[in-house]
């Protein structure tokens, strides 16, 4: 064990010892060895960015501004926001929905419908 590892273990133990009994029990249930009190927190959703380097708020705003006000409802806007967050989080559920929509659109084009 290196000196740095030893110092981290001492700090980890000090943090653990300063916790409430309830919090200690929670960590012990999950496994003290697996617990990392120094882990960096995840970015809040409002600063995470997609592949185009836009935040969820930027994407929603840009998309909705490209639509007429009569063209969407509150439910429509919530759906857009849900899709954006799903894409930014790389959620397979939203990738599946997107790929189905693209496939379905191509199917309709190939059958000369809408």
Q: Into how many domains does the chain fold? A: 2
**Direct distance between the N- and C-terminal alpha carbons of the chain, in angstroms, rounded to an integer:** 67
Give the model's pLDDT for residue 92. Answer: 94
List, for residues 32-56, the tens digit of each pLDDT value: 988 888 877 665 656 778 788 888 8
List, for residues 12-22, the tens digit of each pLDDT value: 888 888 889 99
Residues 6+ positions from 94 with CB-CB distance below 8 Å:
82, 83, 86, 87
Report helix angle 74-88 to 56-65, nearest 10: 140
35 & 77 share domain: no
Alpha helices, DSSP H only, in the chain? 3-17, 21-30, 56-65, 74-88, 92-110
Examine residue 44 and state whether it is found in any structural domain, yes or no.
no
CB atoms inside a 10 Å sphere around CB 87: 16
Examine residue 29 and state whether it is found in any structural domain, yes or no.
yes
CA distance 21 to 24: 5
Examine residue 48 and state whether it is found in any structural domain, yes or no.
no
60 & 32 share domain: no
Examine residue 47 and state whether it is found in any structural domain, yes or no.
no
Examine residue 88 and state whether it is found in any structural domain, yes or no.
yes
Three-state secondary-structure class, residue 51: coil
Q: What percent of the chain has pLDDT over 70?
A: 91
Examine residue 45 and state whether it is found in any structural domain, yes or no.
no
Could you tell me the residue range of the domain that residue 93 belongs to? Answer: 56-110
């Amino acid at each position: 064990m290196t000196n740095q590892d030893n110092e981290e273990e001492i700090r980890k133990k000090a943090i653990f010892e300063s916790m409430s009994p309830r919090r200690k029990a929670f960590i012990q249930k999950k496994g003290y060895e697996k617990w990392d009190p120094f882990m960096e927190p995840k970015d809040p959703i409002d600063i995470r960015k997609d592949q185009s380097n836009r935040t969820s708020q930027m994407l929603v705003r840009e998309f909705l501004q490209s639509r007429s006000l009569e063209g969407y409802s509150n439910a429509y806007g919530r759906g857009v926001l849900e899709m954006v967050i799903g894409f930014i989080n790389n959620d397979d559920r939203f990738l599946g929905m997107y790929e189905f929509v693209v496939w379905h659109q191509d199917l309709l084009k190939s059958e000369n419908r809408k």
